[in-house]
Amino acid sequence: MDDAVARTGYFSILRWALDPTRDEAKNVAVVLVDPEGAFGGIKAAPVSSVSPRLQEQGIVDRVLLGLKAQFETEHKPHLGMLTELHASMKHSLYLTEPKPTMVADGELVLNALYRAYVAPKGGGSGLLTKGRALDRVVDRLRRMGHEVHRGNYLSDFLFDAVLPGPTAIAIEVLSFATNAQRWAPVEHDAGHFLFALERVGVPGMGVFFPPADISHQNALHSHERIQRWFGEADVPVALPDTIEGVLAGF
CB 177 within 8 A of CB 210: yes
Mapping DSSP onto H, E and C, the string for 47-83 reads HHHCCCCHHHHHHHHHHHHHHHHHHCCCCCCCHHHHH
* Whether 94 contacts 13, CB under 8 Å: no
Q: Where are the alpha helices (DSSP H) in 203-242?
A: 217-232
Q: What is the CATH number of domain 130-247?
A: 3.40.1350.60
> Mean pLDDT, to the nearest integer, of 147-151?
97
Confidence class for position 75, pLDDT limits 50, 70, 90: confident
Rounded distance, CA 76 to CA 37, Å? 5
Q: Which among 78, 85, 15 is positioned nearest to 50, based on CA atoms? A: 15
Q: What is the pLDDT of residues 168-224, one digit of tens each?
A: 999 999 999 999 999 999 999 999 999 999 999 999 999 999 999 999 999 999 999
- Arithmetic mean of pLDDT, 76-97: 91
CA pair distance 238, 204, nearest whole angstrom = 11
Residue 37's pLDDT is what?
Answer: 86
Q: Where are the chain's structural domains?
A: 7-123, 130-247
- CA atoms of 9 and 64, how far apart (whole Å): 20
122, pLDDT greater than 80: no
